[in-house]
Amino acid sequence: MKKNFKKVNAGIIVIGNEILSGRTQDLNVSFISKWLNEKNGISVNEVRVIPDVEKIIVKTTNELRKKYNYIFTTGGIGPTHDDITAKSISKVFKVKYEYHPEAFAILKKYYGKNNFNDGRKKMSKMPRGSDLIYNPSSAAPGFKIQNVFCLPGVPLILRSMIHNCAKYLKKGSKVYSDSINLITVESNISRDLGKLQKKYKKYIDIGSYPFFRLGRVGVSIVLRSQNKHKISLCKTEILKNIVEKKKIKKV
């Protein structure tokens, strides 16, 4: 009996002028993508990096949330004047931008009444109807509304709270991967890999990545699929029809 594989996908929107200017290096995309793939069977199909501009945030979020099962945004939910993600997402869903009672209470307790200033209060404002994504590191929660998850841009904080998104996700089938490392150059095997990709296009993504290790030039072939059996078949073909025929050394 043919097994059905459930495909669930996501997009990521990185929000922040500091990323676009190069002042800050993004470390979140690879982490979120790996977490979604390995822990939840969710493939990330697109990533966009955009500035702290309301119209662009609204337009991009509206476009991607209709294309993918889930959208994850990073950045722009802090206490400063240019943290406008929550307000912008309110406009995406055409709901009121307001203090979330539970978020307000969490932050008031965390900072204390005397230190709970307007900037810190701002971190509890979000679209009406949002669910909180709890933050064990610095208290300020992220939020989820429909299929959009809004997380902070600070990598250590994001990593501490992303597991709190899991309960809202519908998981897809696990994505498996395997790799073959060869001492060769990409041009030597590109045509053969192209033929295999065409043959297995419904099942497998085949990637080739050059490397330079200990003075040797090589290529790492990576096979990714929800169908473990197809990966095995494809790997066998690579070893037999490419590696053996061309007498390429494996490492």
- Domain end residue (candidates: 139, 168, 197): 168
d(CA 129, CA 186): 51
Tokens for 128, please give them: 């009406």
pTM for this predicted structure: 0.86
Do residues 17 and 74 share a domain?
A: yes
With residue 55 as reference, give the H or E element that holds it. helix 54-67
**Looking at residues 76-95, what average pLDDT do you find?**
97
Q: What is the pLDDT of residues 14-66, one digit of tens each?
A: 999 999 999 999 999 999 999 999 899 999 999 999 999 999 999 999 999 99
- The CATH number of residue 207's host domain is 3.30.70
Q: What is the residue-averaged pLDDT of the chain?
A: 95
d(CA 167, CA 174): 17
**Are 218 and 211 contacting, i.e. CB atoms less than 8 angstroms apart?**
yes
**Looking at residues 230-236, what average pLDDT do you find?**
96
Do residues 125 and 31 share a domain?
A: yes
Do residues 37 and 137 share a domain?
A: yes
Do residues 68 and 95 share a domain?
A: yes
Tokens for 46, please give them: 């697109």
How much of the chain is in helix, strand and coil states, percent to nearest 5? 40, 30, 30
Do residues 159 and 191 share a domain?
A: no
Do residues 29 and 107 share a domain?
A: yes
Bridge partners for 212 per DSSP = 217
d(CA 3, CA 55): 44
Do residues 145 and 219 share a domain?
A: no
Q: Is residue 191 part of a domain?
A: yes
What are the Cα distances from residue 28, in Å, to 42, 106, 157, 160?
Answer: 16, 25, 10, 12
- The CATH number of residue 108's host domain is 3.40.980.10
Q: Is 226 left (phi over 0), alpha (psi -120 to 50) or beta?
A: alpha
Q: Is residue 2 part of a domain?
A: no
CA dihedral 166, 168, 174, 178 (to 10 degrees): -50
pLDDT band at 1 (very low <50, low <70, confident <90, very high): very low
**Which range marks the domain in which residue 225 is found?**
176-250
Q: Is residue 1 part of a domain?
A: no
Q: What is the pLDDT of residues 150-204, one digit of tens each?
A: 999 999 999 999 999 999 999 998 888 999 999 999 999 999 999 999 999 989 9
Do residues 140 and 42 share a domain?
A: yes
Tokens for 199, please give them: 């043959």
- Domain end residue (candidates: 168, 184, 215): 168
Do residues 85 and 155 share a domain?
A: yes
Looking at the structure of the chain, the number of domains it has is: 2
Do residues 140 and 69 share a domain?
A: yes
Strands (E), 55-213: 70-74, 97-99, 125-127, 131-135, 139-145, 148-151, 176-183, 205-213
Tokens for 5, please give them: 């594989």
pLDDT at 4: 58
Do residues 79 and 40 share a domain?
A: yes
Bridge partners for 131 per DSSP = 144
DSSP assignments along 109-127, one per residue: HHH-GGG--HHHHHTTEEE
